[in-house]
Amino acid sequence: MKKTLVFFVLLSALFLTFAIDALAGPAMDRIMKRGELLVGTSGAQPPLTATTKKGELIGLDIDIAKAMADSLGVKVKFVLMPFAKLLPALESNQVDIILSALTITPKRNQKVAFAGPYYVSGKGILAVAEKYAALQEAKGLNTPEVTIAALKNSTSQKFAETLIPKAKLVLTNSYKESIDLLFKGKIDVIVADYYFCALTAYRYQSKGLIAGESRLTYEPLGIAMSEDTLLINWVQNFINILKGSGKLKEMGKKWLTGGPWIDELP
């Protein structure tokens, strides 16, 4: 009888262990066993994710990722790559989550899960002063005489292809590449995240850059991850707590309204 009871207790404990592992899900389980959260980011989309002159990562997304890792009780490791490679990296488990000014879209949501939005942005435009007046609205861009730059595989690319199809579209791998093309006169305007456009216009106002004053679209930014129910639930609750505590608002004020950190950018 005692042997039977002991066997039953051991069997129950074993079953409970397997059940907990099953509930944890592959992504959450992988993060906790590794003791490290792998965060995919471009490091080239200020003010959300940026790389300083010293090679340090800063920005709203970076602070959120650090806070997430701290709440999980693990270390954070940022995996830098071009924006267009982020989603494929997540799908192949090279990263656990993506935090890189990534807009939640139905198409993306068919392949990866999202928590959020943690912030709402929109499309903006950036141009030199001489051409700004004619280009500040989408309808002013829709002509074969205008050349536009947008990040490859971004919602900016989709925006350009859908709403301004007559314009010539140049796809770039980074915002830096787009800015270089603008300064060299090889493009007329950049379509990008509204906050990036505003920040860049402020940084290069002496060179005559001007950004649109209003958002052209509604862009809910989310944290992307693989299909792991527990991880999705945890991240969404983390965002809710961050918002409810006022911490997210503080972070936004730090990064989205300018500050001394701008001088750290290359």
pLDDT tens digits, 41-80: 999 999 999 999 999 999 999 999 999 999 999 999 999 9
The contacts of residue 246 (CB under 8 Å, 6+ apart) are none
Q: What value does the mean pLDDT take over residues 243-251? A: 97
Helices (H), 36-186: 60-72, 86-91, 106-109, 129-135, 138-141, 155-163, 175-183
Average pLDDT, the chain: 89
The neighbour count for residue 87, using CB atoms within 10 Å, is: 19
Task: Note the pLDDT of residue 55.
Answer: 97
In this prediction, residue 136 has a pLDDT band, given cuts at 50, 70 and 90, of: low
Question: Is the pLDDT score of 13 beyond 80?
Answer: no
The contacts of residue 257 (CB under 8 Å, 6+ apart) are none
Does residue 237 sit in helix, strand or coil? helix
Structural domains in the chain, sorted by start: 2-121+220-264 (3.40.190.10), 123-211 (3.40.190.10)
> Is cis: bond before 47, omega within 30 of 0?
yes
Q: What value does the mean pLDDT take over residues 122-127? A: 93
In this prediction, residue 253 has a pLDDT band, given cuts at 50, 70 and 90, of: very high
Q: Are strands 113-121 and 36-41 parallel, antiparallel or unpaired?
A: unpaired
Whether pTM exceeds 0.95: no
Q: What value does the mean pLDDT take over residues 233-244? A: 98
In this prediction, residue 137 has a pLDDT band, given cuts at 50, 70 and 90, of: low
Distances (CA, A) of 164 to 12, 30, 140, 142, 145: 63, 43, 9, 4, 12
Of 63, 98, 103, 116, give the one whose Cα is nearest residue 236: 116
